[in-house]
Structure 1
Amino acid sequence: MRLPKLTGPVLSGLHCFLIAADQMSFTRAAEILCLTQSAVSHKIKNLEDSLGVQLFIRQPRKLTLTEEGKRLKTVVAHNFGDIAHEIRDLKTLELSGDFNVAVPPTFAQTWLLPRLKLFIDKYPALRFHLRTRNELIDFQTETFDCAIYFGHGKYAGLHSVKLMDESMIPVCSHEYAIAHDLYGKPEKLSVCMLLHDAAPWARAGRNDEWQYWAQRHGVLLPEAGCTFDRADLALQAAERGIGVAMGRKGFIAEMLEEERLVAPFAMSVLSPLSYYIVCRREQASSPRIEAFFDWLKVQVD
């Protein structure tokens, strides 16, 4: 067997040969490789011509490896296995070191943090660094690997993937709802204290969430209100009977289940914005970012 140059066609032929030798069938090898049976036969014939030896004894409805074919299968299987293990190890190295993520504060506290141990346990070699902020990240000057935005999903020069939609509904304590006769009476909001997240998304106005909800349900809102720079603070204020907050379903599910908050009227609205996972376009295929993206999507599903 003469030593051929390991050109692309030869390497491709060796891979095709290994699959066919494992299956002992050109037809099954073609199915695995998504090729036609004739293409597999052609690749192996070209490989045999390059090597100067016959690898298969072709009989009607039966393939048999020649002695040279058996020797080659052993060597190729061993070396292709080593390559596969090395690629796996290289990817494992990529899933180590510092991993910096920026997330909106309330999303971090109420949605991500309760689930984060699962990710850290799955990738213990990653040193996870979580930073919270409502503002958009400058990926050109800041060292974040990726971020979660609550927005429209279109960010110049960045790769973004939708994580989940969001809906909103007013919430307060049961005692506040009773005191202000709110159950089933959204018009009573006109005499209530509204609790605003002053920065529900980047560049938002302090009452944008409330106004969006009120316009879609035709409800008149009062002028009076308190503002907070984090949604979780507005929700905590509502829990303590200060007023009525606009709750996002991703933040309030546990509070509603535990009856720390109530939704006095079933008038939710789909938010105009959604949660997106965002990173630099050139980093979208990074193993650590792909691992985080995939893990987040599993948590949503």
Structure 2
Amino acid sequence: MQLSNLSGSVLSGLHCFLIAAEQMSFTRAAEVLFLTQSAVSHKIKNLEEALGVQLFIRQPRKLLLTDEGVRLKQVLAANFGDIAHEIRDLKNVELSGDINISVPPTFAQTWLLPRLKSFIDLYPALRIHLRTRNDLVDFQTESFDCAIYFGKGEYQGLHTCKLMDESMQPVCSHDYAVAHNLYDHPESLMSCLLLHDAAPWARAGRNDEWQLWAEQYGIQLPESECTFDRSDLALQAAECGMGVAMGRQSFIAEKLAQQRLVIPFDMMTSSPFSYYVVCRHNMQNTPKIKAFRDWLFSEINAEYSN
């Protein structure tokens, strides 16, 4: 027997033979390979003709390996195993090193960090460097691989993938709601201290988030206010009974479930902004960015399916 090269059909036949030799059944091999029994039988026959040796002794109710079949199985089992191991190593090499990610502070603390361990468990060789900021990244001069933005998705020169939408509504502590007669009385906001996230998105005004909500419902807002540069600080202040904060759904779910915050009146509004993962166009398919983006979507899909 002389083979000038291992053609695709021979390689396919060798893989098929190895599975059949391990299962000692063309029928069970067909189930493993998602083929028909006749297709497996045909591949083995073609392989035997290409090699010029008989590999199986076919009996009515069972298969037996010939001496040549036993030798070939041993060689293939060792070498296919080495190939599979090498492929795993190659993937680990691709997903090693550093990944630098910019994330809005409250999104990082409230949504990302409680989930991040599962990403680390998936890619233990990848070193994650998370930096929080509300402003946009200059990908030309800064060494970030990707970023999560809260905005309208219009980022010139960048590859953008929408992660999820957002909605918002006023929240406060139960004691504050009772003391200020807020339950089912949004007009009572006029006697309250409003807690503002002064930087809810890039280039936002200090009360833009509250104004968006108030305009939808025709609510007059008081001038009394306290501002923060992070949404989680405004929410924590509300939890401490300081006043009423505008709560994004992705940030307040746990606090509501634990009754650390309450919704005094059911007046939710959809945010005009959403969360996006962005990177340079020429980086969108690099293994580490794709792995992080795919993981984000899997976490979001799992959350919405529950």
Give the TM-score band, short-chain normalised: 0.7 to 0.9
Structure 2, unmatched stretches of 5+, are none
* Counterparts of 2:276 and 2:25, CA distance in 1: 46
Match of 2:264 in 1: 264
* Counterparts of 1:212 and 1:66, CA distance in 2: 78
Change in CA separation of 1:217 and 1:283 when aligned onto 2, cut-off 3 Å: same
Residue identity matched to 2:135: E
Match of 1:229 in 2: 229
Residue identity matched to 2:25: S
Change in CA separation of 1:280 and 1:42 when aligned onto 2, cut-off 3 Å: farther
Tell me the CA shift for residue 134 of structure 1: 2.5
Change in CA separation of 1:150 and 1:63 when aligned onto 2, cut-off 3 Å: farther
Residue identity matched to 1:92: N
Offset from partner CA, 1:34-65 (integer Å, 9 cap, x none): 33444333333332232122222334454332
Match of 1:108 in 2: 108
* Counterparts of 1:281 and 1:41, CA distance in 2: 47
* Residues 1:29 and 2:29 are matched in the alignment: yes
Tell me the CA shift for residue 140 of structure 1: 5.1
Aligned to 1:250, the other structure's residue is in SS state helix
* Counterparts of 2:61 and 2:218, CA distance in 1: 75
Aligned to 1:261, the other structure's residue is in SS state coil
Superposition pairs of residues 189-228 of structure 1, within 5 angstroms: 189-222=189-222, 225-228=225-228
Match of 2:275 in 1: 275
For the Cα contact (< 8 Å) 2:98–2:126, is it kept in 1?
yes
For the Cα contact (< 8 Å) 2:153–2:160, is it kept in 1?
no
Structure 1 window deviating more from structure 2 (126-135 vs 69-78): it is: 126-135
% same residue: 72
Aligned to 1:247, the other structure's residue is in SS state strand
Tell me the CA shift for residue 212 of structure 1: 3.6
Match of 1:158 in 2: 159
Aligned to 1:57, the other structure's residue is in SS state strand
For the Cα contact (< 8 Å) 1:198–1:206, is it kept in 2?
yes
Match of 2:66 in 1: 66
For the Cα contact (< 8 Å) 1:99–1:126, is it kept in 2?
yes
* Counterparts of 1:153 and 1:26, CA distance in 2: 53
* Counterparts of 2:287 and 2:257, CA distance in 1: 37
Residue identity matched to 1:229: D
Change in CA separation of 1:170 and 1:11 when aligned onto 2, cut-off 3 Å: same
Structure 1, unmatched stretches of 5+, are none
* Counterparts of 2:47 and 2:32, CA distance in 1: 19
Count matched residues: 300
Change in CA separation of 1:38 and 1:284 when aligned onto 2, cut-off 3 Å: farther
Tell me the CA shift for residue 167 of structure 1: 3.1
Q: TM-score, normalised by structure 2?
A: 0.80
Residue identity matched to 2:250: G
* Counterparts of 1:78 and 1:184, CA distance in 2: 72
For the Cα contact (< 8 Å) 2:177–2:183, is it kept in 1?
yes
Structure 1 window deviating more from structure 2 (271-280 vs 260-269): it is: 271-280
Superposition pairs of residues 16-165 of structure 1, within 5 angstroms: 16-60=16-60, 62-117=62-117, 119-120=119-120, 123-139=123-139, 141-151=141-151, 158=159, 160=161, 162=163, 164-165=164-165
For the Cα contact (< 8 Å) 2:159–2:284, is it kept in 1?
no
For the Cα contact (< 8 Å) 2:158–2:278, is it kept in 1?
no
Tell me the CA shift for residue 259 of structure 1: 4.7
Tell me the CA shift for residue 269 of structure 1: 3.5
Tell me the CA shift for residue 122 of structure 1: 5.7
Offset from partner CA, 1:237-283 (integer Å, 9 cap, x none): 43454432101133224444555433222333444444344445665
* Counterparts of 2:216 and 2:141, CA distance in 1: 40
Residue identity matched to 1:158: H
Tell me the CA shift for residue 13 of structure 1: 1.9
Tell me the CA shift for residue 105 of structure 1: 0.8
Aligned to 2:73, the other structure's residue is in SS state helix
* Counterparts of 1:137 and 1:55, CA distance in 2: 62
For the Cα contact (< 8 Å) 2:158–2:279, is it kept in 1?
no
Residue identity matched to 2:110: T
Change in CA separation of 1:287 and 1:255 when aligned onto 2, cut-off 3 Å: same
